[in-house]
Amino acid sequence: MGDGRRRHIGTAERRARLALRHRLAGTARAAAPEQVAASLVALHGTDPATVYLAVAARLADPAKAVPETERALYEDGTLVRMHGMRHTVFVFPTELTAVVHASTGLTVAARERASLLKDMARAGAPDAAWLAEVETTTLTALARRGQATAAELSADEPRLREQFVYAAGKSYEGVHTVSSRLLRVLGVEGKVVRGRPLGSWTSSQFRWAPAPEHPELDAGRSQADLLERWLRACGPATEADLKWWTGWRVTEVRRALSAVGAQEVTLDEGTGYVADGDTDPVEAPGEPWAALLPALDPTAMAWQQRDWYLAPELRPDLFDRSGNVGPTVWWNGRVVGGWAQRADGEIVWRITEEGARREAEAAVAVEAERLRGWLGTTKVTPRFRTPLERELSA
């Protein structure tokens, strides 16, 4: 992972790599959602609107974001929305589904199924054989329908409606429906994926669909494949960044780094890694650039150690208590503020970094108008709201 002659990659070059590889600089914008997803490896999909907003921010023609992303997800099947790293929902290029499943999904899936069976047993619910029957008939019904909501599947398999008490006697006691827990398990097992929303592209209600068929791959080789793709998109990165993004154990991260021949570099934070052969200097884009990125954007959430693009004093206003980032304003590779949409559709922003306010104002205004232009009358409210977004949108 290095030959003793380690190159230093400073903050300026890291920001240049981000601008070009994440397609944020004006000259780096993409023509289609598939290009955006491939460049970022994964689009954060917990909030459905994030996918479209993240794509639009990186397309040469943002008006194509909604129709072209829907085409890719629901017609051509070149993108798929499924569980991935850190038990989080992402949108991946479809050719990556097998890699994601083998590298990160299998471990999570085993844990989730064991947890479901344990909770059911504690509640006196039916056993694993009963659950296996329900699973089989549910998957058969879904294959017949093509896409279906949990309610529609429950009409085909009434046992999905059965309920059991979770954590009885504890402060967080609740009632779970078999459908909600089982479909979630089937999702992390790679048997079902998120299908079309029930409403518009901003809706969080969705249908389930059978997962695209994919080969069963070796877990170690898949981890190496995923890590190398991520390093080429986001490197350099520290070991802590890699462990956080993948959700793997540190031993798995180190094994994958060795398998791909990752090269050590020095960063302001210490030791970092880039993909093999990716040590050549990268120059900043010729023109300064601004971007308005959505809540949970994959760039803002890509690294655990963020001081090189996000000043610590900005975080309280831009993150919620669970660590979810809200809408951010970017200027030349760093976060300088946040933005929101008001009830009438107006895009409002605030540049909170003093040094950037004067030079960035005009470029941010152009990006705000670009965003308002394609959104039209659509109102988008982040699923996880942050202090600055709430204040600006009021």
Residue 356 lies in a domain: no
User: Region 357-384: what's the mean pLDDT?
Assistant: 93
* 339: enclosing H helix or E strand: strand 334-341
Residue 235 lies in a domain: no
pLDDT tens, residue by residue, 140-177 = 999 999 999 999 999 999 999 998 887 777 777 788 89
**DSSP string for residues in 119-170:** HHHHTT---HHHHHHHHHHHHHHHHHHSSB-HHHHHHHSGGGG-EEEESTTS
Residue 39 lies in a domain: no
pLDDT tens, residue by residue, 275-304 = 999 999 999 998 999 999 999 999 999 999
Residue 170 lies in a domain: yes
Q: What sign does the CA torsion over 154, 159, 163, 166 have?
A: negative
191 lies in which domain range? 95-210
**DSSP string for residues in 263-289:** EEEEETTEEEEE-TT--S--PPPSS--
Kindly tell me if the per-residue pLDDT of 1 is higher than 60. Answer: no
User: Region 68-78: what's the mean pLDDT?
Assistant: 96
Kindly tell me if the per-residue pLDDT of 4 is higher than 60. Answer: no
Kindly tell me if the per-residue pLDDT of 268 is higher than 60. Answer: yes
Residue 120 lies in a domain: yes
> How many structural domains comprise the chain?
1
* Distance separating alpha carbons of residues 114 and 108, to the nearest angstrom: 10
How many angstroms separate the first and last alpha carbons of the chain? 51
pLDDT tens, residue by residue, 100-148 = 999 998 888 888 899 999 888 888 878 889 999 999 999 999 999 999 9
* Predicted local distance difference test score (pLDDT) of residue 127: 85
Provide, rounded to the nearest whole percent, the portion of the chain with pLDDT above 90: 81
**DSSP string for residues in 55-72:** HHTTBSSGGGHHHHHHII
Residue 27 lies in a domain: no
Residue 176 lies in a domain: yes
* Predicted local distance difference test score (pLDDT) of residue 319: 97
- Residue 197 makes CB contacts below 8 A (sequence gap 6+) with 48, 203, 204, 205, 206, 207
Q: pTM for this structure? A: 0.92
* Predicted local distance difference test score (pLDDT) of residue 359: 85
Residue 34 lies in a domain: no
User: pLDDT tier at 305 (50, 70, 90 boundaries)?
Assistant: very high
Bond from prior residue into 126 cis (ω within 30 degrees of 0) = no
